[in-house]
Amino acid sequence: MTDAADLTARLIRCPSVTPEEGGALTLIQSLLEPAGFACTRVDRNGTPNLFARWGAKGARTFGFNGHTDVVPPGDPDNWTHPPFSGAVIDGTIWGRGATDMKSGVAAFVAAAIDFVTRTPPDGAVILTVTGDEEGPSRDGTPALLDWMDANGERMDVCIVGEPSNPEVMGEMIKIGRRGSLTVHVTAIGKQGHAAYPHKALNPLHPLLMLLADLTAAPLDEGTEHFQPSGLQVTTIDVGNPASNVIPERGRATVNIRFNDLHSGDSLTAMLRERAAAVEERTGVRFELDFHVSGESFLTAPGPFVDLVRDVVAEACGRVPVLSTSGGTSDARYVKNHCPVLEFGLVGAFMHQVDERVPQAQVRQLQDIYHTILARYFA
């Protein structure tokens, strides 16, 4: 059998800080090809990506998605073991990416190799691995999906191997995610002396009015599968060093994590409407710069979700919660291609100094993925 724990340590030793490949995808390809996977590098704009398929094109296909890029480790002197050592101490693997998510990639690579080698299915298995999830994420999974569409490749369902469990294995499966919208607000008035406000137009008071209006009441109360949408003011910037000068401009940033009652377009329209109302009352002009990094989505409970939930419950001794909590992941791109959910390891140490994962947990995830594949193709 392929040992996912050993592969995790080997991947950690590849210094693949976004957007560097660091040898991680090369290592994975060297393992997949002897097992019969047809591998293609789908690099775009310097971003490394790997597509691998076992089985005939057009057959019933199960897919996995993940990333081998990692966030910077910070000061190596703060780590108990060097961040790219892949040290294994008393059953624990140490290093950047141990949790997020070289272990998840190692688990589905190892499971897929063993499954197609020992019990070749009547179907196909596709693995998509990107080197750009922790960064801008424009040329990672989106590039892989664009290439698949252009080349007639298709997954029927997909698991993203991100760490999905807050504290213990089998605690949670992510069946969707909230959307994320960021708006940069600039309020533009007229500079002047603070002692003569009638000769100026202070942009800060209308800016505060707008922010107060946006935060005065919740956007909604949540839905069946989603918690209430959240709106947070994340920064207010003026840069005015003088106490007796009314500034010309003030800036603020607002981030909204929204459920399936909203869309990027509907929230953009709402924000423009609220800003226009304050403009009309005060005479201050607003400039709004929007960025939607992902729409909300849901993979509704059904045969695919039930299969994964049943396997996880049997393996872990607990029925996982079906959740849409947390931030964004590459599932926000995969959902436009096929039904997708997220299940992986416990995420307690991700992005932290001394990131680490128990070997036993990685092997358990490998077994879970292998069982999911076996039941899907049964």
Catalytic site positions: 69, 133
| Strands, E assignment, 90-188 | 92-94, 124-130, 157-160, 172-174, 176-177, 179-188
What's the CA angle centered on 280, arms 277 and 281, to 5 degrees?
A: 90
Closest CA to 108 of 308, 321, 356, 304: 308
CA distance 251 to 210: 12
- Give the residues across from 62 on adjacent strands: 125, 157
CB atoms inside a 10 Å sphere around CB 75: 9
Task: Report the C-alpha gap between 303 and 298 in whole angstroms.
Answer: 14
* Amino acid (one-letter) located at 300: A
Structure token digits, residue 253: 């940033």
If you write DSSP's letter for every residue of 230-286 in order, what string do you get? EEEEEEEE-----TTEE-SEEEEEEEEEE-TT--HHHHHHHHHHHHHHHHHHH--EE
Q: How far apart are CA 236 and CA 247, in angstroms?
A: 14
What letter represents residue 357's amino acid?
V
Choose among 276, 236, 326, 252: nearest CA to 268.
276
| DSSP H/E element including 88 | strand 88-89
Contact, 176 vs 324, CB < 8 A? yes
Helix (H, G, I), strand (E, B) or coil at 362: helix
Q: Whose CA is closest to 91, among 367, 353, 357, 364?
A: 357
CA 316 to chain centre: 24
